[in-house]
Structure 1
Amino acid sequence: MSGDQPISKPAHKAYGITNIKTYVPLILDLPTRNYEPWSTLFKAHCIAYGVLDYIDDMYDPPNQAPTNTEWLELDSMVTLWLFGSISQNLITSAHSKQANAIQIWLNIHSIFHDDQEATAMQYETELRNIQMGELNVHAYCDKVKKLADLLEGIGEKVKHRNLILYALNGLSPKFESVAKILRHRKPIPPFSEMRTTLSVEETRLASSAFRLSSHTNHSSSHSFYSSRRLWFVKLRKRLEL
């Protein structure tokens, strides 16, 4: 009908995102070495909002970018998402003049994966020589797993047996008895089971230390009051003389 109004195209759902940090709650930075979880979250977000082709050249090669207005707007939006979820230092490194979203994405990937062999050797050395120090079991196991994940992220998956042995070898001496048992388990336990076993032992050790401290304090208190009572008895006898 001539009087009908043209049906307007619904706005792309990506336009509804006002704060990328709500959906990708990680700030990518070199010191934290969190590229793998960050990139996984960012890609999942792009898939959910229908803009994966703006960062994945399998869908849209960077040298064949469309020029229509909506594409340019969405590409700029994804670029803003990228810059909004990385550190200021990385923005400077990843930025290039007139770069679109996929070029920024590839620049970020290159920053973390260039010189991959040297990076893999660094991570593997850290994992082999890892030490628990003053960390608790939870923090220590997270540190071990993070290094293993970093290696897997650059194609250097750590054998399960080696991962468990590296973790056990770096434990504090107080865990030696339970570490010895875990080392000789056949088959070698899963990482999650090792973590649980060590956490139980940590709780037991803390409980034992608390009981010992309470007993020592009680003994000291009893000795103090016994000595004080004896002093009063001696004083009273002197006064009676």
Structure 2
Amino acid sequence: MASPGSSATTRTNPFAGPDPVLICDFNILGRVPAVLDHLTSTYYAWKTYFSLVFREYNLRDHVDGSVDSRFMDDDEEWMTIDATLIHWFYTTISKDLFRTVVSAEDDAHAVWTKLNGLFTDNALQRKVFLHDEFFGCQQHDSSVDDYCMHLKKLVDELRDLGEKVSDELLLITLIAGLNDDFGNAASNIPLIAEPTFSKVVAYLKLEERRMRISRTRATHTALTAGTHDGGPTTAPAPQPRPGPVPFQAPPHPGEGNMP
């Protein structure tokens, strides 16, 4: 490896390792825009983003176990990069996960293995929970985007556990969970040529937009009609009920003939 003070532009050897200066100055939050957390379905995205970074910058030997860091103590560059990767991991996980895995003795491979293990261990139990949530998923009042993305996250989590969900099963589950407003749209989905998850999501989002516009027009039409008719009829104000006629004594005989 080149010296720590070298720049990426001077590293002409294609077999050389990554430039420590480039790695240390790397904005990991810009390349891994996902925070790993037990409470959210971000594991698949988090792992995928990091896997791409490892491939792009030739860092896989730090996490795949092919190099034992105990024999790399004399390689300052390798150890610097390894420490940077640990910092990346700790920066992109929740505080609870940090407290779970943090250890001053771990190398990057150990931290990576711990974090992945938290989401892939107890695979059978996790599959049971995910299957139950997947097949019971309903749209209810959620938007099409939120509903479909939630289903996709469940599929990704099952895939991480070695459980592949076919596109056909994903579409069947998606259609079955749509709310009543999308009854007609659900009937039209089988008419889509070679339907895929992305095609169906795009179609449903357009249908959702169409229904929103229709509701807006209907509301506007009702308001306009009310204005042209002079507005809603106002009931006349209730008139006070007449009170009892006051009693008047009859005139005394002869009073009316008095001059």
* TM-score, normalisation: structure 2: 0.76
Q: 1:22 to 1:204 in 2, by over 3 A?
A: closer
Where do 5+ consecutive residues of structure 1 fail to align?
A: 1-6, 232-241
Alpha carbons of structure 1 residues 215 and 47: separation in structure 2 relative to 1, 3 Å: same
Partner of 2:230: helix, strand, or coil?
helix
Name the structure 2 match of 1:220.
226
SS in 2 for 1:99: coil
Return 150-159 or 15-24, whichever deviates more.
15-24
Once the 2 structures are TM-superposed, how far is the Cα of residue 65 of structure 1 from its aligned partner?
Answer: 3.8
The 4+ residue runs of structure 1 with deviation greater than 4 A are 184-188, 225-228
Please, which of 84, 89, 94 is the counterpart of residue 91 of structure 2? Answer: 84
- Quote the Cα distance in structure 2 between the aligned partners of 1:127 and 1:137: 16
Q: Which residue number in structure 2 is paired with residue 106 of structure 1?
A: 113
1:175: how far off? Answer: 0.5
- Correspondent of 2:216 among 210, 218, 237: 210
Structure 2, unmatched stretches of 5+, are 8-17, 237-259
The verdict on how the C-alpha distance between 1:66 and 1:199 changes in structure 2, with shifts beyond 3 A counting, is same
Contact 2:120/2:161 (<8 A) preserved: yes
2:168 is aligned to: 161
Preserved contact between residue 131 and residue 171 of structure 1 (Cα < 8 Å)? yes
Aligned residue pairs, count: 220
Structure 1 position 74 matched with structure 2 position 81: yes
Q: CA deviation at 1:87?
A: 1.3
1:136-162 C-alpha deviation (Å, 9 max, x unpaired): 112221111111111112111112211
Q: CA RMSD in A?
A: 2.5
CA shift for structure 1 position 205: 1.3
The normalised TM-score by structure 1 is: 0.81
Larger Rg: 2
CA 1:187–1:223: 2 relative to 1, 3 Å: closer
Identity %: 25
**Do the aligned residues in 2 keep the contact of 1:54 with 1:101 (CA within 8 Å)?**
yes
Q: Which residue of 2 aligns with 1:121?
A: 128
Indicate if the aligned counterparts of 2:3 and 2:77 stay in contact, CA closer than 8 A: no
The reply to whether residue 197 of structure 1 matches residue 203 of structure 2 is yes
